[in-house]
Amino acid sequence: MEEILAIEHLSKSFVIHNLDKNIEALHDICIDLREGEFVGITGKSGSGKSTVFKCIYRTYAPQKGNIWYKSKKFGLVNLADLSERQIIYLRKYEIGYVSQFLSIMPRTTAQELVKHAVLEMGHEEEYAEREAFKMLEHFELDRELWDCYPGTFSGGEKLRLNIARAMVKRPRLLLLDEPTASLDHASKLKVRELIEQLKREGTTMMGIFHDIEFMENLCNREYTMRDGKLVDIEI
């Protein structure tokens, strides 16, 4: 399997100007990911798991190290210093991010939210609608909810919508940032099924989970983080 992502010696700290403080969030992180793999990251809250993802997605600006990504469009690129325009392109077409929170657009229904993701890629309205419906069905979001505003959805429904929105773009790399946090057992099982299904379909994924049991037999590799450092790798 070909390597799709390689994080080399990634470090990140936050400078809080008004407190004159420098908080070190990540120290010398090295992770690699091959095509079609599912790599899990575990660790306590505040150990730096989400920071790694946000550095990959460039929501955070990494300070040291490289994040090599094999893009279909640009070839091998370093996400740590790639131009903003190229990052926008990759987010649109190649890298998906699912967080535990659904970012809602005002007065936008569930199906519009998914459809917009396809329209953003420059597809026609009709195609976007077809793909959105397919994806909502695929992730078993109740048909009655399609025309509702997602603000009123349950945690599980929001999550399925969130994953549908990310997956409708068919990303090469999917980052799952604690998708099971605050979900009940039945919803967690549903997420696990979804992940297994995505894995079968060949999507390359990285996931953050608190719940080690949940990750059992799901990941190709598991990394454990503590205080911003990688402390364990399980294969």
Partner 1 sequence: MEDFEQPVLSVSNITKHYGKGCVNCRGSQVEHLLKNYCPVCGTVYACQDITFEVYAGEILGIVGESGSGKSTLMECLYFDQEVSSGEAYINSYKSGTANVFAESSQQKRYIRNHMMGKVYQNPLMSLKMNFSSIGNIAEKLIAAGNRHVGMMEARGKELLEHVNIPVYRMKEAPKNFSGGMQQRVQIAKALSNNPPLLLLDEVTTGLDLSVQASVLDLIKTIQRELKITVLIVSHDLGVIRMLADRTMVMLDGKIIEHGLTDQILEDPQQSYTQQLVQSLL
Binding track, positions 15-44, relative to partner 1; x by CB under 8 A:
xxxx--------------------------
Hey, which residues between 100 and 119 contact partner 1 (CB under 8 A)? 105-108, 116, 119
How big is the site for partner 1, counted in residues (CB under 8 A)? 22
Q: Which of 1, 23, 44, 120 binds partner 1 (CB under 8 A)?
A: 120
Q: How far apart are CA 168 and CA 164, in angstroms?
A: 6
Token couple for 36: 């079609």
Verify binding: residue 76, partner 1, rule CB under 8 A: no
Hey, which residues between 164 and 203 contact partner 1 (CB under 8 A)? none
Q: How far apart are CA 213 and CA 121, in angstroms?
A: 37
Amino acid at 117: A
Nearer Cβ to partner 1 (42/50): 50
Q: How far is the CB of 149 from partner 1 (least distance, A)?
A: 12
Taking residue 205's Cβ as centre, other Cβ atoms within 10 Å add up to 23
Burial 146-182 (b: 16+ CB within 10 A, else e): beebbeebebbbbbbbbbbbbbbbbbbbbbbbbbbbe
Instruction: Give the phi and the psi of residue 133 in degrees, each rounded to 5.
Output: -60, -45
Verify binding: residue 78, partner 1, rule CB under 8 A: no
First to last CA, the chain: 16
Verify binding: residue 58, partner 1, rule CB under 8 A: yes
Q: Which of 11, 24, 59, 227 binds partner 1 (CB under 8 A)?
A: 59
Residues in touch with partner 1 (CB under 8 A): 14-18, 54, 58-61, 84-85, 87-89, 105-108, 116, 119-120
